[in-house]
Amino acid sequence: MKVLVLSEYPAPAAGLALQGELLCRGLREMGVDVHPVHLESDLEKEWYYRWFQPDIVVGVGFWGHLPHLVLHPQKFGMKAVPWLVADGYIAQYREVLNALPLILVTSNWVKEVYIRDGIKGDNIVVLPVGCGTDRYAPHSRDDFKVQAIREALGISENQLMVLTAGGDGASKGAQEVMHALALIDSEVPDWRYVCKVWPQPRTDQQNLIDLKLAADLGIGKKVIFSTNVVSQNFMPYLLSACDIYAAPSRLEGFGMIQVEANACEKPVIAIDAMAFRDTMVHGETAFLAKVAEERKITEALYGEGHDYEKSHRIVFPNPRTAEYRASVPDIAKYLRLLMQDSALRRRMGEAGRRRVVDLFDYRQVAKRFVKIVSDRMGIQ
């Protein structure tokens, strides 16, 4: 089998890019002839089509990337299989998607979104994102690299560290976590809440809003926003430095960092919705807070990022869920349990790692990919 993988390449420290990188790594270790190429590099893609002549072209992205992931390889007679996440609504390319023999999606929730929005579904197969469990592994609190991170963040040895990481804090549920921490502040050991976010204009504005919320809640001195570009060399140590990974995300098609946190033997607090029903086990590897609110919209503007040349207004026939909000009392209850019980944190973290190694290790995902492609498309 010869496979060409279209994704962000070389891979930055972002979910879609790592999804493609780990698939390539897993296939290569299986002996599959595989090459990665940037999804938007038309000339380089054509170069691979001509000399490599792949049996299959796998494209990592969302429906707005389909011109790069599907239409371009099809133009050259390639068999294209997209491996897709969802952003809550499938605005176009239904005919293209329905004509494909195989669509891979990252979770059952993503599959439900595609079917809801007019994709037939019998050509959709769930393939979770792989996790590099050799890199994302637990490191002792005594590890100098772990200690260095806590020192750099100003967190002392006797303080509990709660962590949320993402492009911004609010989309990962940081506001709900802050409300919960304010509720239990006097009941739990001394703590610090770290939001590791990505530097970008949108995040800068959101940080100001979130920091004001922390101050208004009376916990401003205990909340730390770290806005930095980081690499995959750093993230396993950051996760190992925390005691609890709390990210009840408002919209999530897989939840890669939550899985990576489990791989580092950290208990997770997430939301009982979307992909977390696939990746987390309530009470065993994570606590899943109930959904307190579904925020629905009746219309939306789509632009260049969704493959429209200019702003395009879509009115939905039925209201669409734009995001979920987790129950603050639930988050508070689960934070209290974990912050007061180190043995519980350890048990759930260890169970989380076992589950990730069994189900989401990148080598397991690569094997499942090969079997799916072989069974569904007859490619050996």
The average pLDDT across 218-232 equals 93
Q: Write down the pLDDT at residue 319.
A: 76
- Rounded Cα distance, 125 and 141, in Å: 40
pLDDT at residue 229, as a whole number: 86
44 and 193 housed in the same domain: no
Same domain, 250 and 120: no
- Residue 236: is the preceding peptide bond cis (ω within 30°)? no
C-beta neighbour count of 232 within 10 angstroms: 15
Mean pLDDT throughout 306-325? 72
Q: Does 139 fall in a domain? A: no
Confidence of residue 304 (pLDDT cuts 50, 70, 90): low
- Calculate mean pLDDT across residues 66-79: 97
- Better-predicted residue by pLDDT, 359 or 17: 359
Predicted confidence band at 15 (pLDDT cuts at 50, 70, 90)? Answer: confident
If asked whether residues 344 and 368 sit together in one domain, one would say no
pLDDT at 75 over 60: yes
What average pLDDT does range 207-222 have in this prediction?
A: 96
- pLDDT number for residue 365: 97
Do residue 259 and residue 212 come from a single domain? yes
| pLDDT at residue 158, as a whole number | 95
Write down the pLDDT at residue 92.
80
> What is the rounded radius of gyration, in angstroms, for the C-alpha atoms of the chain?
21
DSSP state of 373: H
Give the lowest-confidence range in 62-76, 87-101, 201-215, 336-350: 87-101
pTM metric for this prediction: 0.92
153 and 166 housed in the same domain: yes
Cβ 247 vs Cβ 223: under 8 Å: no
Regarding whether 169 and 58 lie in a shared domain, the answer is: no
- Sign of the Cα pseudo-torsion (116, 119, 125, 130, in order): negative
Determine which of 12-21, 38-47, 52-61, 249-258 has the lowest per-residue pLDDT on average.
12-21
pLDDT band at 90 (very low <50, low <70, confident <90, very high): confident
pLDDT at 89: 72
Position 210 scores a pLDDT of 94
What is the tens place of the pLDDT at every residue in 102-138? 999 999 999 999 998 889 999 999 999 999 999 999 9
Residue 307 has pLDDT above 60, yes or no: no
User: Could you give the CA distance from residue 68 to residue 41 in angstroms, rounded to a whole number?
Assistant: 9
Average pLDDT, the chain: 93
Residue 317 in domain = yes
| Rounded-to-integer distance, Cα 331 and Cα 373, Å | 40
* Domain residue limits at 51: 2-130+361-377
Residues with Cβ within 8 Å of residue 205, at least 6 apart in sequence: none
In a domain, 108, yes or no: yes
**Residue 67 per-residue DSSP state:** I
Q: Are strands 291-302 and 312-326 parallel, antiparallel or unpaired?
A: antiparallel
What is the average pLDDT across 5-23? 87
Alpha-carbon distance of 241 to 196, in angstroms, equals 12
Q: For residues 226 and 169, give the distance between their C-alpha atoms in angstroms, rounded to a whole number.
A: 10
Tokens of 328: 């603050």
pLDDT digits (tens, 9 = 90+) for 169-211: 999 999 999 999 999 999 999 999 999 998 888 888 999 999 9
- Looking up residue 38, the CATH number of its domain turns out to be 3.40.50.2000
Among 288, 257, 264, which Cα is nearest to 346's? 264
Q: What is the pLDDT of residues 261-301, one digit of tens each?
A: 999 999 999 999 999 999 999 999 999 999 999 988 777 77
The answer to whether residues 244 and 114 belong to one domain is: no
Tokens coding 165 = 């990481």
CA dist 324 and 130 (Å) reads: 25
Question: What's the domain count of the chain?
Answer: 2
The reply to whether 115 falls in a domain is: yes
Question: Looking at the DSSP assignment, which residues form a beta bridge with residue 2?
Answer: 33
Per mean pLDDT, which range of 31-45, 119-133, 304-318, 340-354 is the poorest? Answer: 304-318
- Is 136 among the domain residues? no
Asked whether residue 138 is domain-assigned, the answer is no
Cα 306 from chain centroid (whole Å):
19
- The C-alpha atoms of residue 209 and residue 142 are separated, in whole angstroms, by 35
Tell me the mean pLDDT in the region 25-34.
98
Asked whether the predicted pLDDT for residue 315 surpasses 70, the reply is yes
Q: How far apart are CA 60 and CA 379, in angstroms?
A: 19
Residues 114 and 213 in one domain: no
Element (H, E) at 193: strand 191-197
Q: Indicate whether 47 and 196 sit together in one domain.
A: no
CA dist., res. 96 & res. 92, Å (int): 9
